Amino acid sequence: MPEAPLTSKTSAPAPPKTPPATRSSVAMGRAAFMRLLWPLVALAAVLLWNLAFSPGFFHIEVRDGHLYGSLIDIANRAAPVMLTALGMTLVLATFGVDLSVGAVMAIAGAVAALVVEPRGGVAAILLALAASLAAGLWNGVLVAYLDIQPIVATLILMVAGRGIAQLLTNGQIITFHNPVLETLGGGFFLGLPFPITLVAGVYVVLGLTVRRTALGLFIEAVGDNASASRYAGVPAARVKLLAYVICGLCAGLAGLIVTSDIRAADANNAGMYLELDAILAAVIGGTSLSGGRFNLLGALLGGLLIQSLTTTILTKGIPVQFTLVVKALVIIAVCLLQSEPLRRRFARQKAVEKREEAAA
Amino acid sequence: MTSPASPPPTTPRSSIQSRLLASQNVSLLATGFVCFLLYAAGGLAYQGFLSKNVFINLLTDNAFLGVAAVGMTFVILSGGIDLSVGSVIGCVSILIATMVKSGAPPALVIVGMLLLGALFGAAMGALIQYFELPPFLVTLAGMFLARGVGLVVSLESVPVDHPALTRLTGLNLLLPITAIIFLVLFAAGVYIAHYTPFGRNVYAVGGNAVSASLMGLPVARTVVGVYAFSGFCSALAGVVFTLYTLSGNASAGIGLELDAIAAVVIGGTLLSGGVGVVAGTFLGVLILGIIQTGITFQGTLSSWWTRIAIGMLLLIFILLQRFIQNRAAKSQGQG
């Protein structure tokens, strides 16, 4: 590790003998897996429960070279949540939060729908992404350079953003027909719905960026302790800015998918409450709300879990409004699992049991 | 327990704290100035803007927002946040309407709802305090829960035509009943915040929870109490909403939590907790109301300009807060 001389000087009780890098990476790998275990178990439970009640649930068939089936459908519908959750994960890891992703989705959709008729699909996609990039920059500058609390800074765009989107569409639902833009939400790639491909692509790019470069380490350092990382030479402000920009871009892509899926920009409803789903997905996936720890794969699992819950409720014929109640209970359960006092109590109980065992 | 109008403590206070408290007056002055400016501008631009009726409507139309904002002020002063207020309003209004429709006595229903709101808030506060969960996540769950329960009760809006309730809204003691509830709750909020031990504890916990607990203040009780009070205010806002519209609607108050937060911030309360005054929130609510009224008077501007204007005001006031905090910190460094 490059900082080895520094640490050996400052921290006296350094772990002896065992090379620290391999030891910590093995431990980290195991910890990451353990964090993914719960969402995986939960997802499997929901899917198996579905299988028990509707036997054709796991059935996937090929029609015209495209894959169809409930599982594919869940993944397809989960795409917007998964995309925003990926961006949200990085922001949460810097000890921030972005409440404006829903509004940014609405803005991206509005821009695309306005531009697509005169300028064509490619220009629409690029301009929509440019708009969401600008939104991310705005949030990032407020948080990183003006030092405003993330909840408040992004609240501004959350309130004003939807107004801007409505202003762009003049409060109306703008419909369009354009093959390029429609492919984004309704097309297929290698047999899979295009949104799934898009999510996979963004995941791979982000995953490689954060783990093959120092960015991931920087993000965790900034989230863990911003001033300490600044003293250590990490450009904390720039790292934060980048996280918000990525989050804005992810939200913009999600907005494009939603807009393309319904072939219309609906500034009132696009991305409504999605910021909450995105945060929930990231937290289910093992990203800590207190920063410094993140898991991109977990965010995808979280998104899938939320969508499969929603789909389950819908296919069971339970009124859709129950999803909110279920989500609320899931949030509380996940939070309690992450809660420090509860963990401490469990740890103490275990210690007591062990002592009793030893005594007996 | 409540000591009458005790003067501000003269014990030596860390100078950064006193500077922030002094700056609170700057914030409040700025808010008052903006409020006056907007009102005067409206009066200059539109005939009849300054009339008594418009002012009474300003109070009536924003009564439920104001009631919710009082509770939100306490939560933010304590360093937390409550995202559930809008959904609680919807949930309470639909519950009142359905229960009254099925023959329950209105007075009993309303009292029950206020208790339920306080209990709901207390439960969220307990989760936040005893399990060290982040307030915005817990109240987010509360928001989903309340909205979900409301929608499960009824998707459609239910009219309220119980004679006792219609008579109550028909009453006009100088002001409509909803405006009176709003003003009375505000007076109560000012009293609780500035003249009771609970109020002082809220400021202490918001300033620094650790030192508050080292000083022997009942931090846990204060935090749970703050969320219980906010839950009570949200439920009362739901009652006001039901009286105002004479109907229950489960989707009432969507996004209202943001307006309430905006009113509190514009009113000069620092989102980091510990600094602010309840009276500022009153001005904040009035400012939001004046913007809305102005846009209605203008006629051609569409309603989404309201959102954008509120967003801009939020930005300006947050930057102002930042500026004041930085200056306080800097002069602390010099002194």
- Assign 3-class secondary structure to B241-293: HHHHHCEECCCCCCCHHHHHHHHHHHCCCCCCCCCCCHHHHHHHHHHHHHHHH
Q: What is the pLDDT of residue B265?
A: 87
Contact A159 B145 (CB under 8 A): no
Contact B147 A147 (CB under 8 A): no
Range 224-243 of A in CB contact (< 8 A) with B: none
Nearest to B86 by CA among B255, B281, B230: B255
Mean pLDDT (whole number) for A302-315: 86
Q: What is the pLDDT of residues B255-301, one digit of tens each?
A: 788 889 889 988 888 888 888 889 999 999 999 999 888 888 877 77
| Residue A168 DSSP SS3 | helix
Contact A160 B130 (CB under 8 A): no
Mean pLDDT (whole number) for A217-236: 84
Q: For residue A209, what are its two tokens?
A: 């960026």
Is the pLDDT at A115 greater than 70, yes or no? Answer: yes
Q: Are B252 and B89 in contact (CB under 8 A)?
A: yes
Q: For residue A258, what are its two tokens?
A: 């939603």
Percent pLDDT > 70 in chain A is 90
Model pTM score: 0.80
Residue A327: closest CA among chain B residues belongs to which residue?
B144
Enter the ipTM.
0.74
- Assign 3-class secondary structure to A294-307: CCHHHHHHHHHHHH
Chain B contact for A335 (CB, 8 A cutoff) = yes
Distance CA A76, CA A47 (A): 15
Is the pLDDT at B141 greater than 80, yes or no? Answer: yes
Distance CA B293, CA B288 (A): 9
DSSP H helices, chain A, are 4-10, 20-53, 70-77, 79-93, 101-119, 121-140, 150-169, 179-186, 194-212, 215-224, 226-231, 236-262, 274-284, 296-315, 322-338, 340-359
Q: How far is A168 from chain B (nearest CA, A)?
A: 10
Residue B76: closest CA among chain A residues belongs to which residue?
A152
pLDDT top residue among A103 and A60: A103
Q: For residue B290, what are its two tokens?
A: 């004046």
Distance CA A341, CA B129 (A): 10
Is the pLDDT at B173 greater than 80, yes or no? Answer: no
* Nearest Cβ partner for B304 among A166, A327, A338: A166
| Residues of chain B found within 8 Å of residue A150, distances taken between Cβ atoms | none
Q: What is the pLDDT of residues A315-329, one digit of tens each?
A: 777 777 788 888 888
DSSP H helices, chain B, are 15-45, 52-61, 63-77, 85-101, 106-130, 135-153, 163-170, 177-195, 197-207, 209-214, 219-245, 256-266, 278-298, 304-334
Amino acid identity at A40: L
- Could you report how far apart the first and last alpha carbons of chain B are, in Å? 38
Q: How far is B110 from chain A (nearest CA, A)?
A: 23
Q: Are A288 and A92 in contact (CB under 8 A)?
A: yes
Q: Label residue A63 by pLDDT band (50, 70, 90).
A: confident
Measured torsion, CA atoms of residues B314, B317, B322, B323, in degrees rounded to the nearest 10: 150
Range 119-178 of A in CB contact (< 8 A) with B: 146-149, 151-153, 155-164, 166-167, 170-171
Chain B contact for A47 (CB, 8 A cutoff) = no
Q: What is the pLDDT of residues B21-66, one digit of tens each?
A: 666 677 788 888 888 988 888 888 888 888 888 888 888 899 999 9
